[in-house]
Amino acid sequence: MQIDIITCVPALLDSPFSHSILQRAQDKGIVKVQVHNLREYAVNKHGQVDDYAFGGGAGMVLMLEPIVRCIESLQSRREYSEIIYMSPDGELLDQKMANRLSLLKNIIILCGHYKGVDERVREHLITREISIGNYVLSGGELAAAVLADSIIRLIPGVLSNETSALSDSFQDDLVAPPVYTRPAEFNGWKVPEVLLSGNQKLIDEWREEQSVARTEERRPGLLTS
Ligand code: SAH
């Protein structure tokens, strides 16, 4: 899978893909993440990519021409299953959506900034709009990183068996059970006895019970959905 992220502030995306699981996924050749600087497609030599909003009001708007040029240039190189715009009013990201997106071949993620992007981009180029929650960020970059992370870790081969996504929260409409590591006792704080028992059947049953109890307590909506 190739994920192309379009942004006017590429530096904001320097770090998320350069460490840990997401870096390893790229090293293994399972996914390629490329960040594209919208300013390389600017309307003039000053690197202009935004302008005042028609009708007035505070805040700049990302112009459509640089975005059109950038997307067209990417499309001339490969085919994309989705061209996603990160937007607070988009479909809310959840694990099911991440699962579905992880099956796609290539995707473009467009990050808005300032007041957002010229609406005609959304009307004519964007195939899907995704929000990471009902709050407003300064730009789509952090949201794009969240979306890409949620997708990449689900691609087969990215996580090892020990960190398998299948045992994560939401994968089976349950939240994850608690986890512990050494030492087995610290300051009198003990790890549940069953986890030290070596009896895998009992451990699996305990984890299942904990998951269900936690889901009832913290995300009751998941059990009824
Ligand atoms: N004026 C817009 C917000 C612009 S915020 C409005 O009120 O809807 C600037 C950019 O940040 C947006 O274009 C979008 O790309 C991104 N963004 C902000 N909040 C987001 C969220 N919750 N999910 C996804 N992207 C978001």
The CATH number of whichever domain residue 17 belongs to comes to 3.40.1280.10
Residues 6+ apart with CB under 8 A from 16: 22, 145, 148, 149
The protein residue with its alpha carbon nearest to ligand 1, atom 2, reads 115
Domain membership flag for residue 84: yes
Domain membership flag for residue 30: yes
What tokens appear for 52 in the block? 């005042």
Residue 8 Cβ contacting ligand 1 at under 6 Å = no
Q: Please state, in angstroms and rounded to a whole number, the distance separating the CA atoms of residues 209 and 225.
A: 19
Residue-averaged pLDDT of the chain:
96
Confidence at residue 162, expressed as pLDDT on a 0 to 100 scale: 56
Domain membership flag for residue 121: yes
Confidence at residue 81, expressed as pLDDT on a 0 to 100 scale: 98
Task: Give residue-wise pLDDT tens across range 60-83.
Answer: 999 999 999 999 999 999 999 999
Residue 16 Cβ contacting ligand 1 at under 6 Å = no
- Judge whether 158 and 31 are in contact, CB under 8 Å: yes
Q: Name the residue type at position 156.
A: P
Residue 121 Cβ contacting ligand 1 at under 6 Å = no
Ligand 1 atom nearest to CA at 114: 9
Residue 7 Cβ contacting ligand 1 at under 6 Å = no
Residue 36 Cβ contacting ligand 1 at under 6 Å = no
* Residue 163 scores a pLDDT above 80: no
Do 93 and 203 have their domain in common?
no
- Backbone φ and ψ of 116, nearest 5°: 120, -160
Domain membership flag for residue 158: no
Domain membership flag for residue 165: no
Q: Within 10 A of 163 (CB to CB), how many other CB atoms are there?
A: 11
> What domain range includes position 185?
170-224
Residue 150 Cβ contacting ligand 1 at under 6 Å = no
Residue 166 Cβ contacting ligand 1 at under 6 Å = no
What tokens appear for 136 in the block? 């407003």
Do 108 and 192 have their domain in common?
no
Ligand 1 atom nearest to CA at 62: 13
Residue 136 Cβ contacting ligand 1 at under 6 Å = yes
Do 197 and 141 have their domain in common?
no
* Residue 56 scores a pLDDT above 80: yes
Say which range, 63-72, 102-111, 156-165, 168-177, has the weakest mean pLDDT: 156-165
- Judge whether 64 and 118 are in contact, CB under 8 Å: yes
Confidence at residue 5, expressed as pLDDT on a 0 to 100 scale: 98
The protein residue with its alpha carbon nearest to ligand 1, atom 18, reads 137
Task: Give residue-wise pLDDT tens across range 170-217.
Answer: 988 999 999 999 999 999 999 999 999 999 999 999 999 999 999 999
Q: 140: closest CA among 169, 103, 170, 108?
A: 108
| pTM of the complete model | 0.96
Instruction: Tell me how far the alpha carbon of residue 130 lies from the centroid of ligand 1, in angstroms.
Output: 10
Confidence at residue 78, expressed as pLDDT on a 0 to 100 scale: 98
Domain membership flag for residue 90: yes
* Residue 166 scores a pLDDT above 90: no
Number of compact structural domains in the chain: 2
Do 51 and 97 have their domain in common?
yes
